C-alpha cells in the first residue's frame, strides 16, 4: 500500500494490501522524509506498541482524539508539533503568561509548542479537515485543564488574579489621583481607570503609555511601575485552571481542549475512521 504525498489524491479502494506503504513524516520544524510499513495492518500493529498509552486512554473514553488540519495534508502522516506556534485567537502577551505558568508547574505541552486537539470531531472541523491523532509513547506529552475555554483574549481569562493585591493597589491609586495636580475631569477618569473592561490589562497599559505625564502630575513612581504579572499568582492559577498531564480519557469525555506536544500519527477521518474503528473497536 502506498501513501500519497501532500498533493496527490487516490481513493483508499485503489490501494492494494501488501503493496507497501510510505508514511510521510512531517516534522515541524524540519524536512519531510518517508517511513516504510508493509501495509495498513502492519502500521496498526506498530501503533499498538508505539501509541499504547494513548490507545489505553481512548478505550477508557470510547472516543478518538481529533485535530483540524490543512486539506492539503497527506491522508496519513507522522507529524511533530511546532516549537514556535503563534496564537490564532488569543493575544500573544497573555498566551506567553499562560505558558510561563504551565512551565512553572512542570508541564511541557504548552500553547506555543503543541497541536490543539479535542475528543469531538465537530470541534476539530471548525479548524480544518478532521484527522485522528495518535500521540506516540515517549515522544509526546499533553496538557489539559478544567477550564472550559483556553482562548485568552484578556487577562481575566488567566483566572490567576490576586484579588487582594489588586484591590490594595486600587485604593492606593485612588488616593494618589485625588492628591495629584490634574483637572477634576482627568481625575475622575483616572479614578475609574481600574473599573474599565479588562481592568488590570487596561490600567497597566494606559499607565505605561502615559507614564511621563502621570509622573509629572504627582502620581508616585511606585504606582506607575506596574505590570499585569504583578497581580497574578501561581497558586490561584493552579487552583482555578487545575492543569494536568494525565487522564486524557477524562479530557476527551468532557470535551476539553488538549495540547499535544511532540510526535504523533495522523489519519484522515474521512478516509480511515471506519478502518480504525473496526480495528480497535472504538466508535
CB-neighbour burial class of residue 174 (10 A; exposed 0-12, middle 13-18, buried 19+):
middle
Measured at the CA of 279, the angle between CA 274 and CA 280, to 5 degrees, comes to 105
- How far apart are alpha carbons 215 and 223 in whole angstroms? 10
Coil, strand or helix: which one is 101? helix
What pLDDT score was predicted for residue 23? 59
- How far apart are alpha carbons 161 and 8 in whole angstroms? 51
What pLDDT score was predicted for residue 64? 98
- How far apart are alpha carbons 38 and 26 in whole angstroms? 20
Beta strands in the chain (DSSP E): 21-27, 32-37, 66-69, 76-80, 115-117, 129-144, 258-268
What pLDDT score was predicted for residue 82? 84
What pLDDT score was predicted for residue 7? 26
pTM: predicted TM-score of the whole model, two decimal places = 0.82
What pLDDT score was predicted for residue 154? 79
What pLDDT score was predicted for residue 90? 64
- How far apart are alpha carbons 85 and 82 in whole angstroms? 6
- How far apart are alpha carbons 157 and 238 in whole angstroms? 13
What pLDDT score was predicted for residue 87? 62
Measured at the CA of 134, the angle between CA 13 and CA 54, to 5 degrees, comes to 130
Cell numbers placing 279: 480495528
Cell numbers placing 168: 490594595
- How far apart are alpha carbons 52 and 57 in whole angstroms? 9
Coil, strand or helix: which one is 262? strand
Per-residue pLDDT of the chain (283 residues; tens, 9 = 90+): 333 332 223 333 223 333 345 555 444 434 445 566 778 888 999 999 999 999 999 999 999 999 999 888 888 988 899 877 766 666 788 889 999 999 999 999 999 999 999 999 999 999 999 999 999 999 999 999 987 667 787 788 888 999 999 999 999 999 999 999 999 999 999 998 887 656 888 899 899 999 999 999 999 999 999 999 999 999 999 999 999 999 999 999 999 999 999 999 999 999 999 999 999 999 8
Query: Taking Cα atoms as reference points, which of 108, 47, 112, 118 lies closest to residue 76?
Result: 47
Amino acid at each position: 500500500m502506498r501513501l500519497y504525498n501532500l498533493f496527490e489524491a487516490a481513493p483508499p479502494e485503489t490501494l492494494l494490501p501488501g503493496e507497501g506503504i510510505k508514511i510521510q513524516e512531517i516534522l515541524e520544524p524540519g524536512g519531510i522524509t518517508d517511513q516504510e510499513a508493509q501495509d495498513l495492518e502492519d502500521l496498526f500493529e506498530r501503533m499498538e506498541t508505539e501509541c499504547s498509552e494513548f490507545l489505553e486512554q481512548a478505550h477508557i473514553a470510547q472516543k478518538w482524539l481529533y485535530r483540524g488540519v490543512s486539506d492539503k495534508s497527506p491522508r496519513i502522516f507522522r507529524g511533530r508539533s511546532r516549537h514556535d506556534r503563534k496564537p490564532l485567537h488569543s493575544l500573544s502577551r497573555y498566551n506567553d503568561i499562560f505558558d510561563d505558568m504551565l512551565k512553572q508547574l512542570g508541564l511541557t505541552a504548552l500553547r506555543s509548542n503543541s497541536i490543539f486537539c479535542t475528543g469531538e470531531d465537530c470541534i476539530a472541523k471548525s479548524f480544518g479537515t478532521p484527522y485522528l491523532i495518535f500521540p506516540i509513547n515517549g515522544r509526546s506529552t499533553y496538557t489539559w485543564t478544567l477550564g472550559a475555554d483556553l482562548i485568552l483574549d484578556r487577562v481575566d481569562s488567566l483566572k490567576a488574579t490576586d484579588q487582594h493585591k489588586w484591590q490594595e493597589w486600587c485604593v492606593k491609586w485612588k488616593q494618589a489621583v485625588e492628591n495629584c495636580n490634574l483637572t477634576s475631569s482627568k481625575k475622575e477618569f483616572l479614578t475609574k481607570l481600574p473599573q474599565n473592561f479588562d481592568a488590570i490589562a487596561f490600567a497597566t497599559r494606559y499607565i505605561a503609555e502615559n507614564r511621563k505625564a502621570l509622573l509629572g502630575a504627582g502620581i508616585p513612581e511606585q504606582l506607575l511601575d506596574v505590570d499585569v504579572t504583578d497581580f497574578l499568582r501561581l497558586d490561584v492559577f493552579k487552583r482555578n485552571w487545575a492543569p494536568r498531564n494525565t487522564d486524557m480519557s477524562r479530557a476527551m469525555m468532557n470535551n476539553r481542549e488538549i495540547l499535544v506536544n511532540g510526535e504523533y500519527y495522523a489519519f484522515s477521518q474521512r478516509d480511515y475512521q471506519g478502518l480504525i474503528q473496526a480495528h480497535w473497536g472504538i466508535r
